Structure 1
Amino acid sequence: MQGLLALSRGIDRLLRIFATMGGWMGALLVLVVCYDVITRYFGVPKPAGLNSTMIQEFEYWLHSGLIVFAIGYAYTRNAHVRIDLLRDNFSNRRKHIIEFIGISVALIPYSVIGFWLSWPFVKQSFISGEISKSQTGLSNLWIVKAGLLVLFALLLLAGISQWIKSLAGMTGNLSAAEEDELFGGGH
């Protein structure tokens, strides 16, 4: 069990790295939006080759990246919707069982199916050289579509990490601090 918990901690570290990248995308998004507003409403010229459509589409890309890279870490920090009204009254063992079952029958299959169904769209976008529908927009749309693959992969990793922790909790192999972290969340 200690080996599995070490794997879970490794996954959590990886997810934290991706979440940090997503956070930097959020900071860059703020700067790009400010740049867009300044150049559009105050008449500041844009550098050669850039236009408002490209900048706005890049804002969507950054926003997507922020969500994609942060979702796995957010799940491991319990920053997702739960029915706490019922859950708070359950014993830790029951919470572990419910989490284990939920991850086994919902999260892991959902992540695998999402990845599998997204792959053809990303592949077709790459092969066809898909570009923006706007004539002055960005090219290489496969990059933003590949975010779906990353999202489902990170969500799967987060599910595996939480699944391991729930299994350890059901068998009494989690410390009190680890249980608090597992159930406490990061709201």
Structure 2
Amino acid sequence: MLSKLEKITDKIIDAVGYLTGILMIWLIFNVAWDVMMRYVFHDSSIAMQELEWHTFAVIMLYGTGYALRYNAHVRVDFLYDRLSPCKQAWINILGTIFFLLPLALLVIYGSWDFVMDAYTTHEISEDPGGLPYRWIIKAQIPLAFAFLIFCAFNFMLHNINILRGVEPPLPEPEEEVIE
């Protein structure tokens, strides 16, 4: 039952990751267009620049949950790597319960008024020619952290399945050696 639930949540997270990848392609075209307009035609659009920033923010916000699903998030591994998969699973579960979930809930709670103020005041960009509907980008903060909670649930399911002996641990992502 838990393995099946994990597979379902995996597919949802992968779909969001796929959409985030599409946003990355959009961001590349957006930046290329902005650069071409600025340096070739000596014209720029504040709205296009803001769209770059907002797209990048959405990619980062939703990418954190996707990274968690693939064990590609940042952690200090000087002790963790030496532990058995069961001990690693316990650390992952406890870290999720005591650190990740409270932080995500705090961000959702703290950003709610921020979003609602932008919505009720019909906040727009302060720059002339900027984007309207500022509440849409601000709403991504609590939504993305709700998605992170969903991903944390999936992460805990995976680690519970490791403890049950049903599933092997996720492989470590390939490390890039910086010299």
- 1:77 is matched with 70
Percentage of identical aligned residues: 26
TM-score (norm 2): 0.90
1: CA distance, partners of 2:165 / 2:112 = 37
How far 1:24 sits from its partner (Å)?
0.9
Inter-partner Cα distance in structure 2 for 1:125 and 1:186 = 41
What is the aligned partner in structure 1 of residue 120 from structure 2?
Answer: 127
The answer as to 2:132 corresponding to 1:162 is: no
Question: 1:16 pairs with 7, 14, 17, which one?
Answer: 14
C-alpha separation between the residues in 1 aligned to 2:174 and 2:104? 22
Q: Is the contact between residue 79 and residue 186 of structure 1 (CA under 8 Å) also seen in structure 2?
A: no
Q: Is the 8 A contact 1:165 1:174 kept in 2?
A: no
**1:146 CA drift (Å):** 0.9
User: Residues 104 and 149 of structure 2 are in contact (CA less than 8 Å); yes or no, is this contact kept in structure 1?
Assistant: yes
One-letter code aligned to 2:75: R
Contact 1:130–1:140, Cα closer than 8 Å, also in 2: yes
Q: Count matched residues.
A: 175
Spell out the pairing of 1:13-162 with structure 2 (5 A cutoff): 13-43=11-41, 52-162=45-155
Aligned-partner SS, 2:141: helix
Q: Secondary structure at the match of 1:84?
A: coil
Q: Kindly report structure 1 stretches of 4+ aligned residues shifted beyond 4 Å.
A: none
**Structure 2 equivalent of residue 175 of structure 1:** 167
C-alpha displacement of 1:44? 6.9
For residues 114 and 129 of structure 2, the distance between their equivalents in structure 1, rounded to whole angstroms, comes to: 23
In 1, distance between residues paired with 2:87 and 2:79? 11
Q: Give the secondary structure class of the aligned counterpart of 1:184.
A: coil
For structure 1, which runs of at least 5 residues remain unmatched after alignment?
A: 46-50
Aligned residue for 1:43, secondary structure, equals coil
Distance in structure 1 (CA, Å) of the matches to 2:174 and 2:124:
38
Gaps of 5+ in 2: none
Match of 1:184 in 2: 172
Using the TM superposition, give the Cα deviation of residue 7 of structure 1 relative to its aligned residue in structure 2, in angstroms: 1.8
CA RMSD of the aligned region, Å?
Answer: 1.7
1:186, distance to aligned residue in structure 2 (A):
6.4
Distance in 1 (alpha carbons) for counterparts of 2:22 and 2:32: 15
CA contact (8 A) 1:16 1:73 kept: yes
Instruction: State whether residues 123 and 134 of structure 2, in contact with CA within 8 Å, keep that contact through their aligned partners in structure 1.
Output: yes
- Are the aligned partners of 2:24 and 2:59 in contact in 1 as well (CA < 8 Å)? yes
Give the drift of 1:100.
Answer: 1.0
Measured in 2, the distance between the counterparts of 1:185 and 1:61 equals 28
- Taking the aligned partners of 2:102 and 2:56, their CA distance within structure 1 comes to 26
Given that 2:61 and 2:141 are in contact with CA atoms closer than 8 Å, whether structure 1 keeps it comes out as yes
